[in-house]
Chains A and B, each alone.
Chain A
């Protein structure tokens, strides 16, 4: 049992582990993830598909289906208490009221047989202890807040009468209807048209400013990250590999995986040249590499990477953290002999120079 974080930290995830026990073995979908979200802050979680972003979010909401999923360890301090210790009845008071979630698929995330108003009012009635009429008015108010025209009429409609963008607006209205302190958005724009994506992001940013809620934005789109968030957590194969402010991480990536992610964004300037993708694919979840999980795909991998897991620690001051042997002193007695690459190699040269002096 740990100690609570300082009051300005809204969400403190410590060494969270969520495993899925399936017929073929155990999948460590989230394996020792730690990060913090301050009140009113926006944190981005990035990483490719299958790296454990969504499972992290669902674990924080305690929406993991058990079985096959199981939260095997860690603490999730939210608003002063470890919510992993709450009973499922106590969790009903937290979920939807203090923390709310927006999902990736607006087309399927709303109940097709209930009106939009019913679906929003249901949450309001559950948490705000108000009557149906007041909840219904709140639903209309929320629809107006998220910019749905003719809210009075729309509130009586069913989801199939709305476009994808409108449905995602309804999801946002639903999530914010009980004034949550934390909003978790799991790839909220992935399923939408590009033009609608920008509108929805702008909307999320606006309502977040207006309501002062903290935002945990999960995405694989670094463009979205650059525009929306203040701090970034980069995840790979169930682990955090790098954290820092959005400028630090995007301008000066330390981890080879982050570097690879940034290099694989297509850009107008590189038209006609071969896209610089990360070779290989994410490791087989049943047989995770022993050392650094990125080592099999890493262009800079050297001896300690394959046998020893790098700790997530700061290359310097502040909140900057990176889990890579290029930036950490390897355990005593292990030969440290990197193959030299490009920019990360420069970082390595600087570091070894620092160690020598």
Chain B
């Protein structure tokens, strides 16, 4: 088992490398550029721009080799200031700093500086991470629970009123675009009925400091309940927007996996044993239907990330999704590459977790 996990982790490394290449190439291909943004910013002097360009191996009219060097510099394999693969200590640049490697590039945790704000990219992303994790975590737990419960019940009570209702509601929600659903929810439950707040993660009137700052956390720790309630109320509409469409699709998936499982011979064997119907469904039918459902949920995590961009934008949620949207508008390339990479790493990690969970759930998986 340990060996299996180690091997899966090692297999993830080339995937992450490819993701970094794709993130970089996508940004290279995008129109506009950092220089165009700098030119519009009166606070930056030409000397600062030139230093910034040199630090990141950026060239004004890059050849193909320059582009490769830019990528390697961003990655941390190329030492931009020294202009070689070797660090200032004369050792390979990709080694960690404490082993005598360089300090530039994502391998060393240096994601560069935002063109727009001048802050380190990593710091900006980490500041936005809690809001995104709260939104996605809540969404994922609710999503998986509701989709599984609705799907299993619909399969067990096939063709019943409940089943038909789930089918009907699923088709309605499945056809709705996320951004439209978000706007309609804001209009009905936020603006008209005033049941839920329409934007942000906290009520700024009642909090001593902006969300995710240390002052905020201090106040949160002192008296968590009203703050939790505040976040909860703000979560309702974005979470519903984020998961309604996915639940619609996934409950159908769970239903068909469960129906498939319910008609297997081993379920008939279980019934022939004379154990209760609940045990038959939970221990035998659902336990086997779990396997395709696990795989599906893992794949859907990536979908959750992309859905978060739209949802966070619609609800002004201070998370990574909206940071990405703002970054695109500002052509903030280092920020975008950083978010793409960190988002991808999270998805790869989630898939890894799902793979390992699958291996635990299915004894037929071979570890070698």
- Judged by a CB distance under 8 angstroms, whether B17 is at the interface is no
Residues of B contacting A103 with CB < 8 Å?
Answer: 265, 268-269, 272
The majority secondary structure among interface residues of chain B is helix
Residues of B contacting A91 with CB < 8 Å?
Answer: 274
B268 touches A174 (CB 8 A): no
Residues of B contacting A171 with CB < 8 Å?
Answer: 269
Residues of A contacting B195 with CB < 8 Å?
Answer: none
Residues of B contacting A158 with CB < 8 Å?
Answer: 363-364
Cβ < 8 Å to A, chain B residues 351-368: 361-364
A113 touches B269 (CB 8 A): no
- Judged by a CB distance under 8 angstroms, whether A97 is at the interface is yes
Which of A108, A112, A126, A160 sits near B273, CB closer than 8 Å? A126
Contact with B along A4-24 (1 / 0, CB 8 A): 000000000000000000000
In the complex, the chain B residue whose C-beta lies closest to that of A61 is B272
- Judged by a CB distance under 8 angstroms, whether A39 is at the interface is no
Number of chain B interface residues as a range: 20 to 34
Query: Whole-angstrom distance between the alpha carbons of A95 and B269 in the complex?
Result: 11
Which of B265, B275, B288 sits near A126, CB closer than 8 Å? B275
Query: Whole-angstrom distance between the alpha carbons of A23 and B347 in the complex?
Result: 46
Residues of B contacting A108 with CB < 8 Å?
Answer: 264-266
Given contacts A122-B275, A126-B274, contact A112 B269 (CB under 8 A): no
Which of A61, A114, A127, A174 sits near B283, CB closer than 8 Å? A114
B270 touches A112 (CB 8 A): no
Number of chain A interface residues as a range: 20 to 34
**Contacts between chains A and B (CB distance < 8 A), count:** 82
- Judged by a CB distance under 8 angstroms, whether B287 is at the interface is yes
B275 touches A92 (CB 8 A): yes
Query: Whole-angstrom distance between the alpha carbons of A109 and B107 in the complex?
Result: 52
Contact with B along A63-100 (1 / 0, CB 8 A): 10000000000000000000000001001111111001
In the complex, the chain B residue whose C-beta lies closest to that of A177 is B273
Which of A105, A109, A111 sits near B288, CB closer than 8 Å? A111
Given contacts A158-B364, A160-B364, contact A112 B288 (CB under 8 A): yes
Contact with A along B250-290 (1 / 0, CB 8 A): 00000000000000111011111111110100011001100
Query: Whole-angstrom distance between the alpha carbons of A111 and B287 in the complex?
Result: 9
In the complex, the chain B residue whose C-beta lies closest to that of A180 is B274
A112 touches B266 (CB 8 A): yes
A113 touches B362 (CB 8 A): yes
A109 touches B274 (CB 8 A): no
B265 touches A113 (CB 8 A): no
The 15 listed contacts between A and B (C-beta, < 8 Å) are A63-B272, A95-B271, A96-B273, A100-B272, A103-B269, A111-B270, A112-B362, A113-B288, A113-B291, A113-B361, A113-B364, A123-B275, A158-B363, A174-B269, A174-B273
Interface residues of chain B, those whose CB is within 8 Å of chain A, are 264-266, 268-277, 279, 283-284, 287-288, 291, 361-364
Closest 10 interchain pairs by CB?
A: A96-B274, A95-B274, A108-B265, A123-B273, A96-B273, A111-B266, A158-B363, A109-B265, A101-B272, A126-B275
